[in-house]
Amino acid sequence: MQKFSWYRLAALKPLRAIAAIAVLIALALLPQGCNTTPGLPGKVLDEAKLANRPASSFPAADEDYFHDMDGGIQLTADEIKGRNTWLVWTAGDDRLWDVLSVTSVGNLDFLKTISSYPGDGSHPALKASRDNRWEYLGLVNEPCYIKATGPDPKRFGLWLDQRDPSCPPDPFENAQKYPGVKIGARGKNIDAGSFYGYGTGIVGLRLFPNPAFDEAAAKKWDPVRYYTDSKYYLSKDLVRPYRVGMSCAFCHVGPNPVKPPDNPDAPKWENLSSNVGAQYFWIDRIFDWNPSADSYVFQLFHTSRPGTLDTSLISTDNINNPRTMNAVYSLKPRLDQALVWGKEKLADGQKDNKQFNNYVPSGYLTRFFTPPDIVQTPRVLKDGSDSVGALAALNRVYLNIGTFSEEWLLHFNALVGGQEVTPIPVSVARANSSYFEATEAQTVDMALFFLKSTEPHLLKDAPGGAAHLTTDKAVLTRGKIAFAERCARCHSSKFPPPPANADPAACAGSGYMDCWNRYWEWTKTDEFKKKMRDIVLAPDFTQGNYLSTELRVPVTLLQTNACSPLATNALGNNIWDNFSSQSYKDLPSAGTATIYDPFTGEPKPYVLPAGGRGYTRPPSLISVWSSAPFLLNNSLGKFNASPSVEARLDSFQDSIEQLLWPEKREKDSVLGDKVPGTIDRTTDTSYLRVANGYLPDFLQRLRGPLSGTFDWLFNDQGIQIGPIPKGTPVGLIASLNLLPETNDPIQRAQYKQKVLDLLLKAQHDLKSLPANATDADAAKVFDNLKGPLMELSKCPDYVVNRGHYFGTSSFAQEPPLSDDDKRALIEFLKTF
């Protein structure tokens, strides 16, 4: 069980200590974390290794099944393998998602997500089926499947999409060519299938026989109760017949902007792109299969706007941090730019990552590593932390979605946090996981595929797109000049050579801010602007231009929400320690940002910590016309669920106007103009709930002889804490930091005492709420707790749609663009 010894509970009466822990559990949304993976770090093996399956027994599929995708490009044999790895290889991560169905206390249940159960009159239908999966979930229906019309006897009575008999078989289900891993009941009581699993009817999700579905589990399995009886399906002891695995396609495949489907619920492969990102993905509905506005889990996930996901959701850093799904555009120009501005120094376990050179003996891909410790790399994550090589960045993604979860889950408390985090060593993953080793061998082919497949999606090539582009050359020229003078310094990979003392290529690590400041001042000079105008006005400016840089921009300059650059997973000795460079870890503080009290609007200074945090890597503007809403959390502009050209442009226009005219941005529902934007607040009165079936034994024992003391924690369904009043800043609870971030023993002790004091205060105040507590009652409690909660916040920045004021009157360093210049700039951006 998770240990809480650092709370100094020995100094407390036992009952009081248990009550404090119970409140901690409620505040963290979930029951006390129990280690779902027995064993010691570095000593466990993955399921493939346990089944004596070497990495070589997982060859990449070679069928060109997806040949109509990505504009029908012609691929080599290796590039085909790379696309197949991206789209269908799940690398054993189905185990993680099965574990999380318990850890999330039933909120996440992918078997229900992929189902089309219609209800039976007395029990309601699921909120999504194949008929409305796109509109409700933002998930892509896989072509060649039809909606379930009844329980499938071949799938243990589950209501799953069926393969269209008019289509050829799914080649990845070929168990003779791609034999599944036989372990536990898989291969005995239940068929082993293929190591690519079965198609689910949803792009990016694959179905795998559950090794735990033995004879005893089969006897207890009841598909009717699975859909209808909460006492049955809300149980940590339920063993489902299948696990659902996730490929990269789940978060990266979407409608092709220049060839959108007529019906987004029934796309053809030709309507889909492998690389645009899941721009329409609703995490609050996908990761909470039965969402209800009175659940705090829903309120937390609901802060993720469509197309965003907190990539630290599982290996939580206790910061609520939804970010847009990365599109993969123009990889070749991006890698070219890495040769200019992407130099990073490696140390310790960072050097254990493989590089292109391990697989490619000569040619272009060998230029990005200089032994023993220098890489030239794109900085993939938005905080610029993925910085040990492009190949390693791809491999880290697989760990993050569940590869080798046997080891990974030993290094943190999934979803909940509240315990010290340790790094997952690359060397251990390679030695003890056949799935990880096989993934390493396949990612070089993925890179080859991206080099071929990531051309821009231009509006001029979309149906009717040319009609939305101006033919006025004077307007375009005016827009190009505005771009050159205000945007290109962060959003162009074609650039005049900077002065030697202001070259960001030479200032990674501890001296970065001094060098950045010199660079930024240079970009405001007439010399820079003249040279940049000449480059932008050239007819070939956008050709081979990544339309971004690999610079790390201080959030103190951007003034955007600080939660993304405050992410901690890549810091030294944290979970992704081996995947961030020493140069990243040596970065100095980016300075002092301004944050705002979410209750009063009072501005306050906030000194950003050093060690990697505080910076944002600028996004590419390639195909920006198709990728609105804007900012890294999609908080600028309206969302339109249609992938049509007209709908994309409608969202683009609203979003770009909010970017360039900040006065048009959404205001906070409580504070209005007192803060520069909106704060994500609970939309309804909500509660923290854990169903009886998921309560660990120690909480069950709080009933009985101690029930008088702890009645306030329980109702007939389990634990319920609340009400949390409508309008509460979601981040107030979601970003609560329970762990000290210092090695100083005195400061650590002081911080732990503050945490304990907060828990005891919360226990006292919440216990005092009457059974029929109103919003007003709850507001008094939270008014008493808001000070300590803000003081212990890991990200005390609550305004989500502020910042990026360049070219506007809100940016004090330069005069604003005129309205006509802004409109001309918009016309130029539409050509990207």
Interior/surface letters 577-598, b for 16+ CB within 10 angstroms, e for the rest: bbbbbbbbbbbbebbebebbbb
Contact between 252 and 222 (Cβ < 8 Å): no
pLDDT score for 403: 98
CB 281 within 8 A of CB 671: no
The reported pLDDT for the residue numbered 7 is: 33
- Picking from 620, 644, 37, 743, the residue whose alpha carbon sits closest to that of residue 329 is 620
Tokens of 641: 């669920």
Helices 775-791 and 745-767: angle between axes, nearest 10 degrees? 180
End-to-end CA distance of the chain: 53
Q: What is the pLDDT of residue 712?
A: 56
Identify how many contiguous H helices and E strands the chain contains and give both numbers.
Answer: 30, 19
Give the sign of the dihedral formed by CA 556, CA 559, CA 563, CA 569.
Answer: negative
Identify each DSSP E strand in 473-567 by its residue range: 553-554
Please give, one letter per residue, the 3-state secondary structure of 297-354: HHHHHCCCCCCEECCCCCCCCCCCCCEECCCCCCHHHHHHHHHHHCEEECCHHHHHCC
* Alpha-carbon span 117 to 286, nearest angstrom: 16
C-alpha distances out from residue 580 to 311, 324, 342, 413, 576, Å: 15, 20, 13, 21, 7
In the chain, the amino acid numbered 612 is: G
CB 109 within 8 A of CB 289: yes
CA dist., res. 471 & res. 648, Å (int): 20
- DSSP secondary structure letter of residue 607: E
Residues in CB range of 14: below 8 A, 6 or more apart: none
- Which residue shows structure tokens 């730019």? 337
In this prediction, residue 567 carries a pLDDT of: 94
pLDDT on residue 154: 95
Give the H/E segment covering residue 651: helix 645-660
Q: Tokens 């404090």, residue?
A: 20
* Series of mean pLDDT values for 10-residue runs along the chain (832 residues): 33 34 42 54 96 98 98 97 98 96 88 95 92 97 97 97 96 98 96 97 98 97 96 93 98 97 97 96 92 90 94 89 92 93 94 95 93 94 94 95 96 82 96 98 96 96 97 98 97 92 80 93 96 98 95 97 95 96 96 96 96 96 97 96 98 98 98 98 88 63 52 66 88 86 85 82 77 82 86 94 98 97 98 98
Instruction: Report the distance separating Cα 559 and Cα 593, nearest Å.
Output: 7
Whole-number Å distance between alpha carbons of 249 and 202: 10
**Tokens read off for 289:** 């299969």
For 486-517, give one letter per residue: b (16+ CB within 10 A) or e.
bbbbbbbbbbbebeeebbbeebbbeebbebbe
CA distance linking residue 489 with residue 557, whole number of Å: 13
In sequence order, which ranges of 544-629 are alpha helices (DSSP H)? 555-558, 582-585
Predicted pLDDT of residue 715: 66
Q: Are 608 and 558 in contact (CB under 8 A)?
A: no
Q: Are strands 242-246 and 254-255 parallel, antiparallel or unpaired?
A: unpaired
The whole-angstrom separation of Cα 633 and Cα 19 is 36
Helix ranges (H only) for 89-193 are 94-103, 110-113, 133-137
In this structure, what DSSP letter does residue 350 have? Answer: G
CA distance 311 to 294: 25
Pair of tokens at residue 239: 């063993």
Alpha carbons 224 and 140: distance in angstroms, whole number: 27
Cα separation, 85 vs 63, in Å, equals 11
For residue 190, what are the β-bridge partners? 186
Phi and psi (nearest 5°) for 818?
-75, 165
pLDDT value of residue 93? 98
pTM: 0.92
Task: Please tell me the distance from the alpha carbon of residue 703 to that of residue 713, in angstroms, as a whole number.
Answer: 10
3-state secondary structure of 687: strand
Distance CA 626, CA 324 (A): 14
Residue 102 CA neighbour count, 13 Å, CB half: 20
Neighbours of 157 (CB within 10 A): 17
How much is the pLDDT for 702? 54
pLDDT value of residue 690: 76
